[in-house]
């Protein structure tokens, strides 16, 4: 996965005592949850409780005849598992 951007919605930004600590805690929660395939995960920052929700950004480029006709994945990362967890 590429660069992860943490966006704070208005209520989180307004309620946060320390926005940098909140973003750092959100990124740590995202890492702990497996970096994807999650809908909601509670976490704490500076003694307050927040909820992280994730979305996937899909970027589309035009690259005719420059990549193979199959999915390219990072060989060092396991495939995401689906199901309850």
What pLDDT, in 10s, does the model give residues 37-65? Answer: 667 789 999 999 998 877 665 455 666 67
What pLDDT, in 10s, does the model give residues 3-36? Answer: 777 888 888 888 889 999 988 888 887 777 777 6
Q: How many structural domains does the chain have?
A: 1
Q: Is 13 in a helix, a strand, or coil?
A: helix
Q: 52 has which bridge partners?
A: 41
Is residue 83 situated within a structural domain?
no
Q: Are 15 and 47 contacting, i.e. CB atoms less than 8 angstroms apart? A: no
Is residue 9 situated within a structural domain?
yes
Range of the domain at 57: 1-77
Is residue 12 situated within a structural domain?
yes
């Amino acid at each position: 996965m590429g660069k992860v951007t943490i966006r704070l919605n208005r209520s989180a930004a307004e309620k946060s005592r320390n926005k940098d600590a909140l973003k750092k805690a959100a990124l740590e929660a995202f890492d702990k949850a497996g970096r994807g395939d999650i809908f909601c995960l509670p976490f704490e920052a500076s003694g307050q409780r927040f909820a992280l929700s994730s979305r996937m950004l899909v970027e589309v480029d035009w690259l005719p005849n420059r990549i193979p006709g199959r999915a390219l994945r990072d060989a060092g990362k396991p495939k995401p598992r689906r199901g309850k967890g």
